[in-house]
Amino acid sequence: MSKYSFHIAAFVLLVVSVIMLCAAGRSAFIPAAGGTSVTGVVKFKGTAARPTRIDMSADPYCAKAHPSGATTEDVLTDANGDLENVVVFISDGLGTTTFPIPDEPAVMEQKGCQYKPHVLAMRAGQKLKVVNSDSTTHNIHPMPNNNREWNVSQPPGTPLEQVFAREEIAISVKCNIHPWMRSYIAVLKNPYFAITDKSGGFEIKDLSPGTYTLQAWHEKLGSKMQKITVGEGAPQSVEFVFQ
Amino acid sequence: MIKGRSVALALLVTWLISSSLFSFAQESKIADLSGNAKAGKALYRRYCITCHGVHGDGAGENAPHVDPKPRDFTKATFKCRSTPSGDLPTDSDLYDTISRGIYNSAMPSWRPLTRQQRADLVAYIKTFSPRFHEEPPVASIVIPPEPPTSAESVKRGEALFQSLNCWSCHGKEGRANGPSALTLTDSKGYPILPFDFTKAPHFKCGETPRDVFKDLSTGLDGTPMPSFADSMKPDQIWDVVHYIQTFAESDRSFFHRAKSEGKLQ
Amino acid sequence: MGFARKWQWFVLLLILGVLGPSVRVFAIPAFARKYNLRCSDCHEAWPKLNNFGQTFKDNGYQLMTGRDAPIYQQASYFPIMFRSMPLWHRESNNRVAVDIVPGNPAAGQAESRITTSGFDITGLDIWTAGTLYKNISFAVEPAISNSGTVFLLNYFVRFDNLLNSRWLNLKVGKFELDNLISEQRELTLSATGGFYQNYHFTPIGDRTSFGLGDNQLGAELMGHSINSYTRYSISVLNSNDGQLSSATNSYDLYADFSQGFEIPRLGLQRVGAYSYVGERPTFFDTSNGAPITGTGMGNRSFSRTGVYGLWYMGKFDLSTFYMHGQDNVFLGNGVRADQPMNLPPGAAGPTWNGGFVEAHYTYNPQLIFFGRGETVLMSRQANPAIRKDLGDVRVWTVGYRWYPIMSSRAGLAWHQEYAIGRTVGTAPLTGRDDVTNSFLMGFDFDF
User: d(Cα B167, Cα B176) in Å, to the nearest integer?
Assistant: 8
Under a CB-based contact definition with an 8 Å cutoff, are residues C25 and C184 in contact? yes
Q: In CATH, what number is assigned to the domain containing residue C173?
A: 2.40.160.10
Mutation site, C39, C169, C226, C405, interface B, largest B CB count within 10 A? C226
Average pLDDT, integer, range C276-285 = 93
**Residues of chain B numbered 73-132 and touching chain A (CB < 8 Å):** 75, 77, 84-87, 131
User: d(Cα C131, Cα A235) in Å, to the nearest integer?
Assistant: 76
Under a CB-based contact definition with an 8 Å cutoff, are residues A35 and A208 in contact? yes
Is A35-242 a CATH 3.40.50.10190 domain? no
pLDDT, residue C78, reads: 85
Which residues of chain B does A57 touch, with a Cβ-Cβ cutoff of 8 Å?
Answer: 179
Closest residue, chain A, to B163 (C-alpha): A137
pLDDT, residue A33, reads: 56
Express each pLDDT in C71-88 by its tens digit.
Answer: 888 888 888 999 999 999
**Per-block average pLDDT, block size 10, for chain A (243 residues)?**
66 62 48 74 87 88 89 88 93 90 95 95 96 94 95 94 94 95 96 93 89 93 91 81 89
User: d(Cα C368, Cα C50) in Å, to the nearest integer?
Assistant: 13
pLDDT, residue B21, reads: 56
Residue A113's alpha-carbon distances to A76, A85, A136, A153, C118, in angstroms, are 19, 19, 8, 14, 80
Q: Is B107 on the interface with C (CB under 8 A)?
A: yes
Helix ranges (DSSP H) in B81-166: 91-100, 115-125, 131-134, 151-163
CA diameter of chain B = 85
Tell how strand A236-242 and strand A36-44 pair up: parallel
pLDDT, residue A17, reads: 57
CA C73 to chain centre: 33
Tell me the shortest Cα–Cα distance from B161 to chain A, in angstroms.
11
User: What end-to-end distance do the CA atoms of chain C give, in Å?
Assistant: 48
Under a CB-based contact definition with an 8 Å cutoff, are residues C227 and B101 in contact? no
Nearest of B104, B217, B223 to residue B169 by alpha carbon: B223
Query: Which chains share 3+ C-beta pairs under 8 angstroms with C?
Result: B
Which residues of chain B does C37 touch, with a Cβ-Cβ cutoff of 8 Å?
Answer: 50, 62, 108
Of B77, B168, B231, the CB nearest to A177: B168
**What number of other Cβ atoms are within 10 A of residue C162's Cβ?**
14
User: d(Cα B234, Cα B141) in Å, to the nearest integer?
Assistant: 11
Of A141, A148, A160, the CB nearest to B230: A160
pLDDT, residue A67, reads: 87
- Our answer on whether A and B touch (3+ beta-carbon pairs < 8 Å) is yes
Structural domain that includes position C413: 3-446
Express each pLDDT in A26-57 by its tens digit.
Answer: 444 455 556 788 899 999 998 878 888 998 98
Query: Are C408 and B62 within 8 A, CB to CB?
Result: yes
Provide CATH code, domain B26-134. 1.10.760.10
Domain-wise residue ranges, chain A: 35-242
Query: Are B13 and C316 within 8 A, CB to CB?
Result: yes
pLDDT, residue A31, reads: 52
Tell me the count of B-C CB pairs closer than 8 A: 101
- Three-state DSSP at A118 gives coil
Q: Is B111 on the interface with C (CB under 8 A)?
A: yes
Tell me the shortest Cα–Cα distance from B8 to chain A, in angstroms.
56
Q: Which residue has the higher pLDDT, B147 or B260?
A: B147
Express each pLDDT in C357-414 by its tens digit.
Answer: 999 999 999 999 999 999 999 999 999 999 999 999 999 999 999 999 988 889 999 9
pLDDT, residue B199, reads: 84
Of A57, A59, A150, the CB nearest to B86: A150
- Three-state DSSP at A68 gives coil
- Three-state DSSP at C134 gives coil
Nearest of B69, B68, B70, B50 to residue B60 by alpha carbon: B50
pLDDT, residue C336, reads: 93
- Three-state DSSP at C100 gives strand
Average pLDDT, integer, range B98-110 = 95
User: d(Cα C255, Cα C303) in Å, to the nearest integer?
Assistant: 12
User: d(Cα C380, Cα C392) in Å, to the nearest integer?
Assistant: 11
Tell how strand C86-101 and strand C434-446 pair up: antiparallel
For residue C87, list its beta bridge partners: C120, C442
Nearest of B224, B222, B86, B231 to residue A154 by alpha carbon: B231
Mutation site, B165, B169, B231, interface A, largest A CB count within 10 A? B165
Domain-wise residue ranges, chain B: 26-134, 151-260
Under a CB-based contact definition with an 8 Å cutoff, are residues C70 and C64 in contact? no
Percent residues over pLDDT 90 in chain C:
80
Q: What is the DSSP string of B32-93?
A: TEEE-HHHHHHHHHHHTHHHH-TTSSS--TTGGG-SSPPP-GGGT--SS-SS-TTSPPPHHH
Q: Please state which CATH class domain B151-260 belongs to.
A: mainly alpha
pTM for the full predicted model: 0.88
Tell me the count of A-B CB pairs closer than 8 A: 83
pLDDT at C161 over 50: yes
Do domains B26-134 and B151-260 share one topology? The answer is yes
Under a CB-based contact definition with an 8 Å cutoff, are residues C271 and C259 in contact? yes
pLDDT, residue C392, reads: 97
Average pLDDT, integer, range B194-213 = 92
ipTM for the assembly: 0.88
Q: Is the peptide bond before C47 cis (omega within 30 degrees of 0)?
A: yes
Query: Are C67 and B42 within 8 A, CB to CB?
Result: no
Average pLDDT, integer, range B54-83 = 95
Q: Is B131 on the interface with C (CB under 8 A)?
A: no
pLDDT, residue A29, reads: 46
Q: Is the peptide bond before A170 cis (omega within 30 degrees of 0)?
A: yes
Express each pLDDT in C253-275 by its tens digit.
Answer: 999 999 999 998 899 999 999 99
pLDDT, residue A13, reads: 66
pLDDT band of residue B1 (cuts 50, 70, 90) is low
Query: Are C227 and B254 within 8 A, CB to CB?
Result: no
Express each pLDDT in B17-57 by its tens digit.
Answer: 665 554 445 699 999 999 999 999 999 999 999 999 999 99
Query: Are B180 and A143 within 8 A, CB to CB?
Result: no
Closest residue, chain B, to C35 (C-alpha): B106
For residue C308, list its beta bridge partners: C272, C321
Phi first, then psi: give them for residue B210, nearest 5 degrees.
-65, -35
What's the domain count of chain C?
1
pLDDT band of residue C183 (cuts 50, 70, 90) is very high
pLDDT, residue B249, reads: 73
Q: Is B103 on the interface with C (CB under 8 A)?
A: yes
- Average model confidence (pLDDT) for chain C? 91
Under a CB-based contact definition with an 8 Å cutoff, are residues A180 and A59 in contact? no
pLDDT at B257 over 90: no
C-alpha triplet A229, A232, A237: angle, nearest 5°: 50
Express each pLDDT in B82-98 by its tens digit.
Answer: 999 999 999 999 999 99
Q: Is B48 on the interface with A (CB under 8 A)?
A: no
Closest residue, chain B, to C164 (C-alpha): B254
Average pLDDT, integer, range B211-217 = 96
Q: Is B225 on the interface with A (CB under 8 A)?
A: yes
pLDDT at C19 over 60: no
Tell how strand A182-188 and strand A119-123 pair up: parallel
Residue C327's alpha-carbon distances to C6, C206, C224, C320, C378, in angstroms, are 21, 8, 31, 23, 12
Question: Per-residue b/e over C338-362, b at no fewer than 16 CB within 10 Å?
Answer: eeeeebeeebbbbbbbbbbbbbbbb
**Dihedral angle at the C-alpha atoms of C426, C429, C430, C433, nearest 10 degrees?**
-30
Express each pLDDT in B169-196 by its tens digit.
Answer: 999 999 999 999 999 999 999 999 999 9
